[in-house]
Amino acid sequence: MKLIDLKTIDFINEIDSQKPAPGGGSVSALLSTLGVSLARMVGHLSVGKKKFLKLDQDIQNEFNEHLNHLLVIKEELIQLIDKDTEAFNLIMTAYQQPKDDPHRNQAIQDATLEAIKVPYRVAQISFKALERLSFILAYGNKQTISDLGVSALSLSSGIEGALMNVLINIPGLSSENQKNLYQQEAKKILKETHELKQTLLNLIYEHL
Taking the model in full, what pTM does it have?
A: 0.95
> Residues near 185 by Cβ (< 8 Å), separated by ≥ 6?
120
* Mean of all residue pLDDT scores within the chain: 96
- Residue 126: inside a domain: yes
- Residue 197: inside a domain: yes
pLDDT band at 3 (very low <50, low <70, confident <90, very high): very high
- Residue 123: inside a domain: yes
| Residue whose C-alpha is closest to residue 160's, from 132, 128, 119, 202 | 119
- Residue 5: inside a domain: no
- Residue 46: inside a domain: yes
The yes-or-no verdict on residue 21 having pLDDT over 90 is: no
Task: Provide the residue count of the chain.
Answer: 208
- Residue 7: inside a domain: no
> Could you read off the pLDDT of 113-134 as tens digits, one per residue?
999 999 999 999 999 999 999 9
Quickly count: other Cβ atoms within 10 Å of residue 110's Cβ.
14
- Residue 64: inside a domain: yes
* Helix, coil or strand: residue 59: helix
Please report the pLDDT score of residue 1 as a whole number.
81
- Residue 132: inside a domain: yes
Q: How far apart (Å, rounded) are the C-alpha atoms in residues 5 and 175?
A: 37
Please report the pLDDT score of residue 100 as a whole number.
86
Please report the pLDDT score of residue 101 as a whole number.
84
Query: What's the CATH number where 39 sits?
Result: 1.20.120.680
- How many structural domains does the chain have? 1
Greatest mean pLDDT range, 68-77, 80-89, 94-103: 68-77
Domain that holds residue 114: 23-206
> Could you read off the pLDDT of 141-178 as tens digits, one per residue?
999 999 999 999 999 999 999 999 999 999 999 999 99
Contact of 34 with 7, CB cutoff 8 Å: no
